[in-house]
Amino acid sequence: MTISPLAELSTHVTALLNRIEQAVTLEELLAEEPFIVGKRSILSTLQKSLGALAPEDRKDAGAQLQAARRGVEEAYATRRTMLEEASRALVLEADRLDLGDVVVTSVSVPLAVGHPGIVAVTQRQLEDVFVTMGFAVSDGPEVESDWYNFEALNIPPAHPARGLWDTFYVDLGEPETVVLRTHTSPTQIHLMESAVASDSLPIHRVMPGRCYRRDTPDARHLAAFHQIEGLVVDRGITFADLAGVIETFTHAYFGADISSRLRPAFFPFTEPSAEFEITCTICRGEGCRTCSQTGWIELGGCGMLDPAVLEAVGIDGDEWSGFAFGFGIDRCAQMRHQIADMRALIDNDVRFLRQFS
Ligand SMILES: [Zn+2]
C-alpha cells in the first residue's frame, strides 16, 4: 500500500494558515502570495502528485485537496482585506487635515476639470501657425527699462509717439526709468542684441506675451493684454517678403477666404510702415456694422526695420535688412470667436469657456 501524498495535508494547511496570520503588513502578505495560494504553494505541488494515485483514490483525494485549498484561499482573502483597510487608514491618518473636530475621510467626488483660457489657446494656435512657417518662438521680460521699451525703438524721451502709450512706471528707487512693457517690441531689441553679441544672425522669430497700458477696462480695452510680434533680420529682405508673410499667416489662421491688405501708417521703429487689415470675419467682406461697411478689419501694424533701430543694436544696415509685425492676441481671439466684450476673456468663467471646446 502506498502512502497517500495527502497524509500530511492538515499539517501543511496549518503551516499555511500560520504564514497568513504572521504577515502584519499588506506588503508582507503580498510577498507571500505565490507560496500560499500561488504556483509555488505546497498545495500546487500536491495537486500535481495526485496523478500518481490509482484512479479510484484520485477522486476522493482531489475533493479533499480542493476543500483544503478553499480554506486557505478564504483565510488569505480575509487577511488581505483587513491589511488593505489598515493600510488605507494609515494613509488617511498621514493625510489628515487638522480641522478641529472635522476629519477628512476618503471621498470620491469627481474632480471639477477646468478649461484653458481663450487667450492661452489662441496664443498656442498662433505660435503653431508661425512655427509651421519657419519661425521660432521667444519670450522676453515684462518689466523693462526705458531704453528697451522706448529709446532703442527710436522713441526718444521727447518723442510725441510716447503719448500713444499710457505707461505703468515701476518705482525701484533707482535713477533708471523702469516700466511695465507697453508692447512686446523690447523683445526684438533683446533678440537683435544677443544675435549681434553671439554673431548668430539671421533672425526669424515670433514673440508672444503680456503687455500693459493704463487703460480703464471696457468692452474694447484691458490694462493687461497680449501681443504677438514677428521679427525677421536677414540678407535681401524686402517689403514683398513682409506682405507675403502677412498674407500666408492670414490664410493659415483665419481661413482661405480671408485675405490681408496693407495701408500706409507711421510707427517710430519701422520705415516704411503699414497697418494691416484682414477681410471682415463677420460678413466675409460683404460689409457690416462691425467693419463700418468696408469689408475690412484692422488687425495690426508692420513695416521694414528702421535703419535707426538697426544702428541702435549694432547691426550693419548695409548688409542686413528686415521687417517686424505685431498684433493683439486678445483681438485675434475676439474676432475669431466673435466675442463682443473683451472682459469675458479674463473672467475665467468656465461656463463661458466650455462653449469653445
Ligand atoms: Zn463686416
Identify any residues that bridge with 262 across adjacent strands, giving them in sequence order. Answer: 276
- Measured in Å, residue 333 CA sits from the centre of ligand 1 at 16
Rounded CA separation 338/61 (Å):
80
Query: 233: closest CA among 135, 150, 144?
Result: 135
Distance in angstroms (rounded) separating the CA atoms of residues 206 and 130:
7
User: Residue 49: which domain range?
Assistant: 9-95
pLDDT per residue as tens digits for the range 207-263: 999 999 888 888 778 889 999 999 999 999 999 999 999 999 999 998 999 999 999
Place 53 in a pLDDT band, splitting at 50, 70 and 90: confident
Residue 334 Cα to ligand 1 middle (Å): 14
Torsion-angle region of 293 (φ positive above 0: left; ψ -120 to 50: alpha; else: beta): left
- For residue 298, how far is its CA from the centre of ligand 1 (angstroms)? 11
Question: In 10 A of CB 322, how many CB atoms?
Answer: 25
Is this prediction's pTM over 0.75? Answer: no
Distance 236 CA to ligand 1 centre (A): 37
- Compute the distance from residue 340 Cα to the ligand 1 centre, in Å: 14
* CA 174 vs CA 143, 148, 170, 355: distances in Å: 14, 16, 10, 47
322 within 8 A of 235, measured Cβ to Cβ: no
Task: Give residue-wise pLDDT tens across range 80-125.
Answer: 999 999 888 888 777 766 666 666 666 677 777 888 888 999 999 9
| Residue 109: all three cell numbers together | 467626488
Cα 30 from Cα 338, distance rounded (Å): 59
Tell me: do 73 and 127 sit in the same domain.
no
Give the pLDDT confidence score for residue 357 in this predicted structure: 76
CA of 225 from ligand 1 middle (Å) equals: 24
Cα of 297 vs centre of ligand 1, distance in Å, is 7
**Alpha-carbon gap, residue 180 to 143, rounded angstroms:** 5
Residue 24 alpha carbon to ligand 1 centre in Å: 75
Distance 94 CA to ligand 1 centre (A): 61
Indicate if 57 and 172 belong to the same structural domain.
no
Q: What separation in Å is there between the alpha carbon of 293 and the centre of ligand 1?
A: 6
Identify whether 167 is part of a domain.
Answer: yes
CA of 256 to the centre of ligand 1 (A): 17
169 in a structural domain? yes
Q: Report the domain count for the chain.
A: 2
353 CA from centroid of ligand 1 (Å): 25
Instruction: Please report, in angstroms and rounded to a whole number, the separation of the first and last CA atoms in the chain.
Output: 79
Q: Which three cell numbers stand for residue 137?
A: 518662438
Same domain assignment for residues 44 and 133: no
Q: What is the mean pLDDT of residues 323-337?
A: 90
CATH number at residue 187: 3.30.930.10
How remote is the CA of residue 287 from the centroid of ligand 1, in Å?
Answer: 4
The Å distance, Cα 339 to ligand 1 centre, comes to 14
* CA–CA gap between residue 107 and residue 174 (Å, rounded): 54
Q: How far is the CA of 279 from the centre of ligand 1 (A)?
A: 8
Regarding whether 82 and 128 lie in a shared domain, the answer is no
Q: Are residues 20 and 52 in the same domain?
A: yes
Looking at the fold, whether 136 and 89 belong to one and the same domain comes out as no
Question: Does residue 142 fall inside a structural domain?
Answer: yes
Interval between CA 137 and ligand 1 midpoint (Å): 32
What dihedral angle (degrees, nearest 10) is formed by the CA atoms of 248, 249, 255, 256?
-10
Tell me which DSSP letter residue 167 carries: P
Residue 338 backbone dihedrals phi, psi, to 5 degrees: 50, 55
Centre of ligand 1 to C-alpha 211, Å, is: 28
> Quick one: 91 and 200 in the same domain?
no
| Cα 300 to ligand 1 centroid, rounded to whole Å | 17
Same domain, 60 and 161: no
Helices and strands (DSSP H and E) totals, the chain: 12, 10
Cell numbers for 279:
477681410
pLDDT tens column, 260-315: 999 999 988 899 999 999 998 888 899 988 889 999 989 999 999 998 889 888 99
Q: Supply the DSSP symbol for 4.
A: P
